[in-house]
Amino acid sequence: MICGQTTFAQSDISMTTQWNNRASYNPASISRTEYLYLFGNARRQWVGIDGAPTVVNIQASEYVADLNSAFGISMISDNIGLTSVLNPSLSYAYRISPNVDLDSWSLSFGLSAGVFYRSINGSQYDPTDGTDPSINYTNQTSTSPDANFGMELQTRNFIFGLSSTHLFAINKSYAILQNTNNRYGYAIYKYTNSDYYNLSFGLQFNNRNNLTVVQGSAMIRFKQPTGLYEGPRELFDVGLNYTSSKQLALLLGMNINKDFRIGYAYEYSFQLNTNQSGTHEIMLEYRIPMKISSICESCKGSKDWYF
C-alpha cells in the first residue's frame, strides 16, 4: 500500500511583531494619522538549521489629511532553503471618520499592488542519491502580479480587521512557484487611559485553503507620568503570543524616545521532533510628525503608539 501527501510551507510571512504593524497582510492599517511612519522587522527562524527561513520586511507610509488617504511602500524578502521571494508593493488606504478627533471611530479600506517574484536555485541541491530522476537541478523563476485588500475599523478601545492576500492566486491550484491566497480576521482590545500602563489583547485567525491558524496575544506597556499636558511617556512593554501550531513567543519593546521604538521577540515551538533552537525577531518603528498628516491641529503632545 502506497500513499502520498503534498504539503506547502508558509506562503505569507510569519512575524510575531505583526501586532505592531499589520500592513504586510492588511493595507487598510496604513491609515495612521499625525505621522510619517517607518517600520522594519527581521526574523530568523529555527536557528541552527541550514536553509531555515529568514524574513525581512521594510515599510513606509504617510497619511494625507486633506485627501483622507494614506500612501505606502513596502519590500518583503523571504528566503527558505533554496527558495527566495521578493515582494515589492505600493499601498493605498482611504479613511472614513465622522469627526476630526483622534479618539473618534474610523473605518479604513486599503489596497496594495505589486509584484511577487520567486526563484528556486536547483543547482544547490545536494541529495544523497544524485541520480534521483525526480530532482530538478535547473534554476526556476516565476514573476506574477500581486494584490492584497483589507478593511479595518478602529475605535477608542478596539481594532477589528478583515483582509485577503495574493488576490490573483484565489483560483489557482497549488504549485511550488506560486503564491497562495490567505484570509485574515482579527480583533484587538486596547486600554490606554491609565497614566502608568497600557494593555492590549488580540485574537487573529489566518485561513489558507483547509488550514486555519489561531493566534492570541497579550501585552502590557509601562508608562511614566510627566505631569505635563502632553501626558505620560511610554517606556517599555512585555507580552506573550501563542499560536495554535503550538508556538509560544515572548515579546519585548522599548521606547528610545517618544517617536522611536525597538522590539524583540523570541519564539519557542512545543511540537515534537522539531528544532528547539528557537526563532529570533527584531523590530524598529520610527515616527516623524508631519503637518500634512495631522487631523487635529489643536492637539499637542505625543500620541500613544498603536499596538
Domains of the chain, CATH where assigned: 18-293 (2.40.160.40)
Q: Which three cell numbers stand for residue 133?
A: 530522476
Give the separation between CA 27 and CA 151, rounded to whole angstroms.
8
Mean pLDDT by 10 residues, the chain (307 residues): 58 86 95 94 84 92 95 95 92 89 85 94 72 74 94 94 94 71 95 93 92 95 86 93 93 94 92 71 95 74 63
Give residues with Cβ within 8 angstroms of 182, minimum separation 6: 11, 12, 25, 164, 165, 166, 206, 207, 208
pLDDT attached to residue 130: 64
pLDDT attached to residue 14: 83
Give the separation between CA 287 and CA 282, rounded to whole angstroms.
17
pTM of the model: 0.87
pLDDT attached to residue 285: 96
Give the separation between CA 71 and CA 92, rounded to whole angstroms.
5
pLDDT attached to residue 10: 53
Closest CA to 267 of 220, 217, 208: 217
Give the separation between CA 150 and CA 47, rounded to whole angstroms.
33
Give residues with Cβ within 8 angstroms of 295, minimum separation 6: 33, 34, 63, 65, 97, 100, 101, 102
Maximum C-alpha span of the chain: 75
Cα end-to-end distance, the chain, whole Å: 52
Phi and psi at residue 186, to the nearest 5°: -150, 155
Q: Is the sign of the CA dihedral 77, 172, 8, 246 positive or negative?
A: positive
